[in-house]
Amino acid sequence: MAQIAVIGSGAEWVPQAEEVGRLLAERGCVVVCGGLGEVMEAAARGAKEAGGTTVGILPGESTRDANAWIDYAVATGTGHARNLAVVASCEAAVAVGGRWGTLAEIAYARLLRRPVVALASGPEVGGEGIERAATPAEAVELALRLAGVP
């Protein structure tokens, strides 16, 4: 079962993130995220409502900080450094919106040779291993193809 990370932030991206989570779960993937709110919560909610499994890699020291849609919470106690654990726990990442933390996750993903798909007007990054997608469905298909998931 492939583990795909959904990274990002921004309340304006909630509908897209929920759709990404749902589509990943429908394809049998485990959704990995940062376990908190906005994009992370929406992706987990979409996955759970589609019958999927979710993992939240939390920045703090308590698993109780995870949103209600997380099945398995990992409390790292490492703050922003947990971004490395999020992308190290996946075969590919989908970036939905985002700010500096998302850019850090993208950089870590590429250092670890994990492919990244940036959805629509997400962070303006490019280079080897980074693709862009216009829709949640296109983002999921690209991420799965890049991760080698049939």
How far is CA 101 from its chain centroid?
12
The stretch 62-77 carries a mean pLDDT of: 98
* pTM (predicted TM-score): 0.95
Which of the residue ranges 23-37, 100-114, 116-130 would you say has the lowest mean pLDDT? 116-130
The stretch 16-33 carries a mean pLDDT of: 98
Encode 105-141: b = buried (16+ Cβ within 10 Å), e = exposed: bbebbbeeebbbbbbbebbebeeeebbbbeebeebbb
Give the bridge partners for 117, in sequence order. 94, 131
CA distance 21 to 52: 9
Q: Does residue 22 register a pLDDT over 90?
A: yes
Domains and CATH numbers, the chain: 3-147 (3.40.50.450)
Q: What does the pLDDT look like over 91-112, one tens digit per residue?
A: 999 999 988 999 999 999 999 9
Residues recorded for the chain: 150
Q: What is the pLDDT of residue 114?
A: 97
